[in-house]
């Protein structure tokens, strides 16, 4: 058994652990451990296939995401996890399959339009403006919410001024929520890696998303930083009801905070269910032990 699976067994990330939710396949809405109600399916991915030339990144993958849940996508390196996130936020357009968001088909939509629908993301490799302060980086997350025209913005007239004040208020709320007041004026490039990841989360949250796509939010973090990040993800989900789709390699984190997990391997879906269900799935165990191929 590899180290990530052992870590789950010792449950060292969240010392208290979180009991599993009721199955979302049940007729009644599922209730998460913290009392959160998991709602209807809001994102429905049907038979998604994506290739890059001869490389099949995703083959006939279907799964859904329910409102308010924490849905993890896991799998070994090269399994297709980032490709799937890029399909969800419109960076990649699958050659086959259908995507429904809140019941509406979403063919060919541009990432900016998807962001305006309330889907925000963070990246596997931090994508911040390193020379800019934490505050200014988080302000860029408000882009999709900016309404006033170029001229009034340039002159800082009535509507633009009021809008700017409102954006600043929202950004300050996010800064308080993620406990980064002390670094608000620091250029991002000078921060340790764990804090940069938190700033990236802050920028995504500044967009007030309904759905947050997190691509390896704990990558490169030590145990303490991971505990902090887990707590913030759970708090975002709990306090704002934000639906979260999460790619993560640390199995302990995934098992502790996810409501449901979809497992990919070589671009195919090999498991889907509660953390306990996928942990007991023979194909998943083989994929992680490296004996399935
Ligand atoms: N833009 C691209 N052009 C060509 N091939 C790509 C591209 N993006 C992904 N791939 C290929 O698609 C497959 C899936 O890659 P992807 O990055 O989605 O996997 P992953 O599960 O996120 O991997 P990791 O855990 O290592 O980040 C890999 O074979 C990868 O090389």
Closest CA to ligand 1's atom 17: 82
Check: pTM over 0.90? Answer yes or no: no
Q: How far apart are CA 293 and CA 290, in angstroms?
A: 7
Q: How far is the CA of 81 from the centre of ligand 1 (A)?
A: 8
CB atoms inside a 10 Å sphere around CB 108: 8
Residues 134-192: tens digit of each pLDDT = 999 999 888 766 665 555 556 555 566 777 788 888 999 999 999 999 999 999 999 98
Q: How far apart are CA 274 and CA 70, in angstroms?
A: 11
Residue among 50, 51, 57, 287 whose CB has most ligand 1 atoms within 8 A, to mutate: 57
Q: Is the CB of 74 under 6 A from ligand 1?
A: no
- β-bridge pairing 243-247 and 70-74: parallel
Q: Is the CB of 80 under 6 A from ligand 1?
A: yes
* Averaged confidence pLDDT in the chain: 83
Here the ipTM equals 0.96
Q: Is the CB of 86 under 6 A from ligand 1?
A: no
Closest CA to ligand 1's atom 3: 52
Q: Strand pairing partners for 136? A: none
Three-state SS string across 169-184, please?
Answer: HHHHHHHHHCCCHHHC
Q: How far is the CA of 135 from the centre of ligand 1 (A)?
A: 32
Q: How far apart are CA 204 and CA 141, in angstroms?
A: 6
Q: Is the CB of 92 under 6 A from ligand 1?
A: no
Residues 109-121: tens digit of each pLDDT = 888 889 888 999 8
Q: How far is the CA of 82 from the centre of ligand 1 (A)?
A: 7
Q: How far apart are CA 11 and CA 18, in angstroms?
A: 10
Q: How far apart are CA 61 and CA 102, in angstroms?
A: 19
Q: Which domains does the chain have, with CATH numbers?
A: 3-118+209-289 (3.40.50.300)
Give the nearest ligand 1 atom to 264 CA.
21
């Amino acid at each position: 058994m590899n180290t990530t699976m052992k870590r789950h067994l010792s449950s060292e990330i969240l010392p208290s652990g979180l009991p599993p939710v009721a199955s979302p396949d049940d007729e009644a809405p599922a209730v998460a451990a913290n009392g959160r109600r998991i709602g209807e399916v809001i994102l429905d991915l049907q038979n998604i296939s994506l290739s890059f030339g001869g490389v099949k990144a995703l083959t006939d993958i279907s799964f859904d995401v329910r409102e308010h849940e924490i849905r993890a996508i896991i799998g070994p390196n090269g399994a297709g996890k980032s490709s799937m996130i890029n399909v969800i936020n419109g960076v990649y357009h699958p050659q086959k399959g259908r995507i429904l968001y809140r019941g509406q088909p979403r063919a060919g939509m541009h990432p900016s339009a998807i962001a305006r629908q309330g889907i925000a993301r963070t990246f596997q490799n931090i994508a911040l403006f390193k020379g800019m302060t934490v505050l200014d980086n988080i302000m860029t997350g408000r882009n999709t919410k900016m309404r006033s025209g170029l001229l009034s913005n340039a002159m800082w007239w009535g509507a633009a001024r009021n809008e700017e004040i409102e954006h600043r208020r929202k950004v300050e709320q996010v800064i308080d929520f993620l406990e980064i007041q002390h670094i608000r004026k620091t250029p991002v490039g000078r921060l340790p890696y764990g804090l940069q990841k938190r700033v990236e989360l802050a920028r995504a949250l500044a967009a007030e998303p309904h759905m947050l796509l997190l691509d390896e939010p704990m990558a490169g973090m030590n145990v303490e930083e991971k505990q902090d990040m887990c707590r913030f993800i759970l708090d975002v989900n709990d306090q704002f009801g934000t639906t979260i789709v999460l790619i993560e390699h640390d199995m302990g984190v995934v098992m502790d905070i996810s409501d449901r997990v979809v497992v990919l391997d070589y671009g195919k879906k090999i498991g889907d269910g509660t953390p306990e269900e996928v942990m007991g799935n023979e194909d998943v165990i083989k994929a992680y032990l490296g004996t399935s191929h």
